[in-house]
Amino acid sequence: MKGPLYRSLAAALKDRIALGDYPPGAALPTEHELCALYEVSRHTARDALRLLQEAGLIERRRGAGTIVTRSPGVGRFVQSIAGVCGLLQYARNARLTVLSQGREPSDDPAFAALGLDPRSAWVRIAGVRRIEGEAQPVALTTIHIRADLCPDAATLAGLSGAVNEWIAAAHGVRTRRVEQDITAVALDGANAHALGSDVGAPALRTVRRYIGDDDSAFQASVSLHPGDRFSYAMTLERAD
């Protein structure tokens, strides 16, 4: 095995999980057994299992050993709710693939639902977000951007960060706050097909409004995340 031994061991175990040698629900070899099988130290085996656990592939259960929780073929994105920076990290890690982009009609009901000013012109962008290396998308996303701030199709296709970051750099309109609502829903036929999921499967629907210094929304998004590929992590601290 080349490179750091624990990373090489983690990659080898990940491959065996993907091939079905250790399917979800099965137990992995113990640390002692891994040491014997791969001729590595206990420390190397422990660090390799830590990487698999951080990737959401295994769980270490008292009395049951190390259990495979999923195959690496189905990605799960964990987003930390830690202010606007956490949202920007999500946009960097789960890249947007644009499926359509165009002006929205002035009577679009989305304006009222999202609290957007119908007197302004808006652009609607539909797409999917994917994590590099994963076959299935982690989200189906619709983004509404004020037309005078919207990047063109070529810029959007090459964007490596969040749209609101680009808007701040290109137009000087910064995000003062983000308002977010999260709702549990069931996927309908069209959305399930687009996400490669089952009709009626559980999902998280997130609605975000990006508010500028003038206290008005210049961008909003509505995203559907399949429940088996996405979760939120939150840390709460006392103020005193």
What token pair was written down for 110?
């989305």
Q: What is the DSSP string of 52-65?
A: HHHTTSEEEETTTE
Q: Which of 47, 68, 89 is the last residue of a domain?
A: 68
Residue 239 lies in a domain: no
Q: Tell me, yes or no, whether 203 and 132 share the same domain.
A: yes
Residue 28 lies in a domain: yes
Each of the 240 residues of the chain gets a pLDDT tens digit; together they read: 446 788 889 888 988 888 778 888 889 999 999 999 888 999 999 999 998 888 888 988 777 789 988 877 655 545 545 455 555 555 556 788 999 999 998 778 877 889 899 889 999 999 999 887 777 888 999 999 999 999 998 898 888 778 988 999 999 999 989 898 999 999 999 999 999 999 999 999 999 999 999 999 999 999 999 988 777 665 555 555
What token pair was written down for 203?
């999902």
Question: Own/partner pairs for 8-15, CB < 8 Å, 24+ apart?
Answer: 9/34, 9/38, 9/40, 9/44, 9/45, 9/48, 10/47, 10/48, 10/49, 10/51, 10/52, 12/38, 13/48, 13/52, 14/52, 14/55, 14/57, 14/72
Q: Tell me, yes or no, whether 96 and 214 share the same domain.
A: yes
Please state the domain count of the chain.
Answer: 2
What token pair was written down for 238?
């006392």
Q: Which domain holds residue 99?
A: 77-234
Q: Tell me, yes or no, whether 51 and 141 share the same domain.
A: no
Dmax (CA) for the chain in angstroms is 69
Q: Tell me, yes or no, whether 39 and 128 share the same domain.
A: no
Q: Tell me, yes or no, whether 59 and 140 share the same domain.
A: no
Return the CA Rg of the chain.
Answer: 21
Q: Tell me, yes or no, whether 195 and 147 share the same domain.
A: yes
Q: Name the residue with tokens 């606007």.
A: 84
Whole-model pTM above 0.95?
Answer: no
Q: Tell me, yes or no, whether 90 and 166 share the same domain.
A: yes
Q: Tell me, yes or no, whether 154 and 85 share the same domain.
A: yes
**CATH number of the domain that 202 lies in?**
3.40.1410.10
Q: Tell me, yes or no, whether 153 and 230 share the same domain.
A: yes
